[in-house]
Structure 1
Amino acid sequence: MRRILVVKPCCLGDALMATPVLRALRTAFPDAAIDVVVTRWAAPAFDGHPAIRRLIPYPEQATLPAIARLAQQLARERYDWGLGLDRSPRVALLLYLSRIPKRAGVNVAGRGILYTHRVRPRPSQHETELYLAVAEMLGVSPQGLEPEYAVPPDVRASVAARLGSVTRPLVVIHPGGAVNPGSTFLAKRWPPERFAALADRLHSEFSATIVLVGGSSDAEAVSGVLHAARSPLLDWSNRLTWSELAALLSLADLFVGNDSGIGHLAAAVGTATVSIFGPTSPLLYRPLGPRSLVCAPPASWTLHEARDLRRPFSIPDTLDIRNVTVNEVAQACAALLGAAGAPDVP
């Protein structure tokens, strides 16, 4: 039996963008034992994935001693292949110290020197395409670009019962995001008053039921939308587990939000998505799916290289997310709502 180790430490959206690699590995090797090393923060993205045998915790503080300890543990598993789906040299070091004979990963500025098979990102290459290129180095063919997340049927039924009978279309809005371990980048957030104006327009023009979602770090953004909106909104923020959020998204007709993991989760459960970008690249990070649209300043589409958001940088006016208008987002929503059918409710 082939033993395969995939390392994808962070974050939720990035982990979901890596799920097509798991699908490709499972298709190529149905009987393989596939383990994933991931931080506690990002682990929910892989919950219940049928390709995964088990999740192994990545150190929350990836110090060299912590990497060495984990590698000692992994070496006992005698993995055949290791895939590093991250630009960090510590991921490459982990796989090297784990004594895995075939190691494929991302190589940027020499950080992947410890891999036996190296992939250099191409300009404008989507992250999912980059991760699949790593798998292709080991002879694994892609099986589509769409992310995937399996909603437990009992959770979906529970959330549907909690939702009750609502007026369609059901639109889920996430006005927050941009907070991850080691990185807070609030410039990725569209202003709350614009989300409120969008909600009012969707309610007026489509009689939509609007549900706001988010975690504790999104409280200010959610509060701002509730304060500015004139239409009735359902506030479900900070009240859902990850699987319950996925269930709600699977029941929705449309999701609208910033560049965040929840947008990728919506795409992963097959829901139509409108994602609002600004200072980050939609070329590299947009949710992939047959019904995913992006609203962004024209300059955002010229960002061809990944940027480390843990390091501060100045944002030119041309990349300001406030350049995206309510009218532009409303038109994208209308285009998708016109094509969407109501999801089946158990």
Structure 2
Amino acid sequence: MHICIIRPGALGDTLLALPAIQALREHETIERVTFVGQAAFAPLLLATSLVTSYLDYEDTCWSQLFLPQGIRHPELRALLADCQLVVCWLRDPDGLIAQNLRATTPGRVVVTSGRPGEHAGMHTSTYLASTLGLTLPDEPRLTLVPSTTPQVEATSRFFAIHPGSGGAHKCWSIQGYAEVIQALWRRDIPVLLLAGPADTDRLAELRQLLSTPPPGLLTLLENAPLLQIAHALQHCRAYLGNDSGVTHLAALLGIPTTALFIASDPHTWHPLGRSVQIIAAQELGVLSVSEVLTALESFLI
């Protein structure tokens, strides 16, 4: 069975779709899964056992999903004609996407919004699985093929921290992260600090707040490819971060994860994994350092 999943969006949106693919694989005999999303995520998803091929949603051929004359691109038509199931998690208010896919695909076509919307209070992954008539696996998890390239020399003693997010309103204070890092250093716990392109200003502010770290207690992984980040996270003892794609990645990899929800709804967006704890601000943006450190204590034993 060949299935095609069309799921554009940010990293968190992409990762929260993977448990639904896992559920599909547990219920169907599937030889191929073609995933259509952001090109930057391709190496990571192809390193899992869930996706066998990856296509860039930004390729102009995918714009034909929205054209009244239908899909005419020959390679895209050939791909869709080979699928027994096409899932498109996009809003389709006029039904044009569904019409175009059904005109090209002989198998089942599912077109629906990629977010719960009216299903308020339902987790995004639960919702996505329900659009396929499935329930989530008991333990959603990503398994990566071993890396053949040198990685950051992180060990099981490292505590990973990502103080950024795609939205500034979802971020805990940099002062708070600085105090947590210094508390870890006082216990001789090394920190793997993660930062992406959107985190430049926050990283600069954090480095100004931090004292000079003792030798070996700070490793910075800045603007690294997602697959490299994933391999580094696999070696860490635990992870702390905001509501972000990297936090979802850490949780799905099975890393003990503490996720800080400052503004967004944890019921809909909390990370999935075998060892995840959520700390939600009672007031918008208000979360004490002592509350976070107390929550981390179980990961420091």
TM-score by length of 1: 0.74
Deviation string for 1:251-281 (max 9, x for gaps)? Answer: 0001111111100111122111111111111
Q: Are the structure 2 counterparts of residues 151 and 263 from structure 1 closer, same or farther at C-alpha, using a change threshold of 3 Å?
A: farther
Matching residue within 198, 201, 207 for 2:180:
198
Partner of 1:314: none
**Structure-to-structure mapping, 1:1-346, within 5 angstroms:** 2-59=1-58, 65=64, 67-68=66-67, 72=73, 73-77=75-79, 78=81, 79-86=83-90, 88-89=91-92, 93-99=96-102, 100=105, 101-107=107-113, 121-136=118-133, 140=134, 142-144=136-138, 146-155=140-149, 158-159=150-151, 162-163=152-153, 169-178=157-166, 185-204=167-186, 206-230=187-211, 232=213, 234-238=218-222, 240-298=224-282, 318-319=283-284, 321=285, 323-338=286-301
Distance in 1 between residues matched to 2:48 and 2:94, nearest whole Å: 22
Specify the SS of the correspondent of 2:221. Answer: coil
TM-score by length of 2: 0.84
Number of residues paired by the alignment? 290
Q: Are the structure 2 counterparts of residues 247 and 151 from structure 1 closer, same or farther at C-alpha, using a change threshold of 3 Å?
A: farther
Distance in 1 between residues matched to 2:121 and 2:60, nearest whole Å: 31
Q: 1:221: how far off?
A: 1.1
Unaligned runs of 5+ in 2: none
Q: 1:11: how far off?
A: 1.4
Partner of 1:301: none
Unaligned runs of 5+ in 1: 112-118, 179-184, 299-317, 339-346
Specify the SS of the correspondent of 1:104. Answer: strand
Q: Are the structure 2 counterparts of residues 107 and 223 from structure 1 closer, same or farther at C-alpha, using a change threshold of 3 Å?
A: closer
Q: Are the structure 2 counterparts of residues 326 and 145 from structure 1 closer, same or farther at C-alpha, using a change threshold of 3 Å?
A: same
Q: Are the structure 2 counterparts of residues 91 and 278 from structure 1 closer, same or farther at C-alpha, using a change threshold of 3 Å?
A: farther
Deviation string for 1:39-89 (max 9, x for gaps)? Answer: 224434423232323112212789955744867443323122222234x32
Distance in 2 between residues matched to 1:91 and 1:269, nearest whole Å: 38
Query: What is the percentage of aligned positions where both structures have the same residue?
Result: 21
Amino acid at match of 1:176: G
Q: 1:240: how far off?
A: 2.6
Specify the SS of the correspondent of 2:258. Answer: strand
Distance in 1 between residues matched to 2:23 and 2:207, nearest whole Å: 42
